[in-house]
Amino acid sequence: MKIAILEDDPDEAALVHHILQGAGHGCALYGTGSALLAALRQQHFDLLVLDWTLPDMTGYEVINWVRANLSEQVLVLFLSNRALEENIVLGLMAGGDDYMVKPPRRAELLARVHALSRRLPPEPRTEAGKAQSAAKDILEVGAYRFNKILRQVQLRGQVVELKPKEFDIAFILFREIGGIVARDKLSEEVWGRDLVMTSRTLDIHMSNVRSKLALRPENQVKLTTIYTLGYRLDYLDTDDMPS
């Protein structure tokens, strides 16, 4: 997701930025409400992480402006040291989608951001190399082509032999390319149930998929493990390719 962080404390801002950017999100930092509002007039963000107390205005004033002036859906997560129930209620009633108390714990922050991301509409895959066929059972990403009916995947025209569950995992990763796919989502879709968290079943299958499909930058894809959450498969443009 593209995230704007509004925080006037440099240490707090750096911490939140480090956590979210480390999970693969694009982040921009703003130290004042006016700076953020100026940016929002020029560009779109999927999520705003707002402090409540700012040097030039309150988080309440910021969200009032956002809800009154932005027609597109923008998610808002309040991150504040105001921990009283009345503060949390005020933030949510003002239009916040979620509320966290400082200091943010890494796993909780990532889990809350991931949960909020589910509310966003799916992004169209229209870029070169990311286009999906209009037929829902055909999926094409760069040099990869999936046929869900035949349960077949090709890399540069050559069929790659995958076991049934390996195919299901790969199809989900390519279907959700650019987004984080949670471990529990993979477990439910592929096995029809939650796997025991200590089980290495998913890890073994994921390792096989990575190896068999050569999910490496030279094939314009990169598979990243997102600690405690799941996996993200990214498509690499030509400019991102290693020289």
Whether residue 90 sits in one domain with residue 29:
yes
What pTM, to 2 d.p., does this model score?
0.53
Are residues 42 and 98 part of one domain? Answer: yes
In a domain, 186, yes or no: yes
CA distance 241 to 220: 7
- In a shared domain, residues 61 and 158: no
- Cα–Cα distances (Å) from 13 to 17, 31, 51, 110, 147, in that order, read 6, 8, 10, 15, 45
73: tokens are 């859906």
For the segment 13-49, what is each residue's pLDDT rounded down to a tens digit? 999 998 888 778 889 999 999 999 999 988 889 999 9
- Confidence at residue 77, expressed as pLDDT on a 0 to 100 scale: 93
* Regions of the chain where pLDDT drops below 50: 125-135, 197-198
Query: Do 67 and 15 share a structural domain?
Result: yes
Give the pLDDT confidence score for residue 242 in this predicted structure. Answer: 52
| 125 assigned to some structural domain | no
pLDDT value, residue 127: 45
pLDDT the model gives residue 131? 44
Say what the pLDDT of residue 84 is.
81
- Same-domain check for residues 7 and 94: yes
CATH number for the domain that contains residue 90: 3.40.50.2300
- Contact, 66 vs 44, CB < 8 A? no
Domain match, 113 and 142 both? no
CATH classification at residue 143: 1.10.10.10
d(CA 48, CA 69): 15
Q: What separation in angstroms does the CA of 233 have from each of 13, 15, 161, 226?
A: 27, 25, 20, 10
Query: For residue 130, is it within any domain?
Result: no
Do 158 and 231 lie in a common domain?
A: yes
Element (H, E) at 24: none
In this structure, are 6 and 113 located in the same domain?
A: yes
Number of domains in the chain: 2
Angle between helices 183-191 and 164-175 (to 10 degrees): 130
Domain encompassing residue 73: 2-117
Distances (CA, A) of 177 to 81, 131, 167, 199, 205: 35, 11, 15, 25, 18
